[in-house]
Amino acid sequence: MSTDPDQIRADIERTRSTLGSDVDALADKVTPSSIVDRQTEKVKDKLGSVRDSIMGARDDAVDSARDAASSTGDGVAEVKRQAVRTATGNPLAVGLIAFGVGALVASLMPASEPEKEATGKVKDAAEPLVDEVKGAAQDLAQELKEPAADAVGSVRETAMDAAEHVKTDAQSATDTVKSDAQSAADSVKSDATSSAENVRGSAQEARDNVQGAGS
């Protein structure tokens, strides 16, 4: 886990954003209008598939009829009779078509009172779930907030300790430099004094020698 306060805050914001998106998505999913829309789309898709199948079968029948008509007139009559027998002997396909049309019409009609009542019951039943999810999301956000605050405090304390150590080390280094500089200055001064005294002594000795030679 990162100890960078900015990174921690960014992680918290991303977590809150993700939780908010999940809660909103769940709330939208259990909304009665969304449920009705999804069911309507499913019915439309099923009806479209049945319609395509029937249209394909019809096209095949037309092609077969044309082929038969090109070879013999009796073939046309046989195809017609076969189509009638197929429709008569396959009530399931007819029933599916009727069901699909009825479902599509029902989805386009205004909701009846029983349907409105059922929708209200679905909404009432879903609201506690949505509230529970929102509450869990808020609890999780609160739980994340406290460790994040502790981490930020720990980072701040560590930074202050480090700054104090740096300050102490800098002061110690400054004192050492001052002491070394003073020692160097004293040493230079002492050497200079000693050298000056040596020069003066040598000069005096030279003068004495000159005077002695003149006498």
Over the stretch 94-128, which tens digit does the pLDDT of each residue have? Answer: 444 555 555 554 554 555 565 566 566 656 666 66
Inform me whether the pLDDT recorded for 140 exceeds 60.
Answer: yes
Amino acid residing at 39: Q
Domain boundary assignment for the chain:
5-171
Please say whether the beta carbons of 43 and 104 come within 8 A: yes
Distance CA 104, CA 97 (A): 11
pLDDT per residue as tens digits for the range 146-181: 666 676 677 678 778 777 877 887 787 778 877 777
The set of residues, in sequence order, having a beta carbon less than 8 Å from that of 13 and lying 6+ positions away, is none
Q: How far apart are CA 126 and CA 27, in angstroms?
A: 8
CA distance 173 to 109: 88
Asked if residue 70 lies in contact with residue 63, where contact means CB atoms within 8 angstroms, the answer is: no
Tokens of 159: 């930074």
Mean pLDDT of the chain, nearest integer: 63
The reported pLDDT for the residue numbered 174 is: 78
CA nearest neighbour of 96 among 49, 57, 60, 42: 49
Alpha helix stretches (DSSP H) within 90-112: 91-108
Task: Give 89's pLDDT tier (boundaries 50, 70, 90).
Answer: very low
Distance from C-alpha of 134 to C-alpha of 31, rounded to nearest angstrom: 15
DSSP category for residue 215: -
Give the integer Cα–Cα distance in Å for 193 and 143: 75
pLDDT of 79 reads 46
Whether pTM > 0.85 for this model: the answer is: no
51 vs 110: CA distance, rounded Å: 25
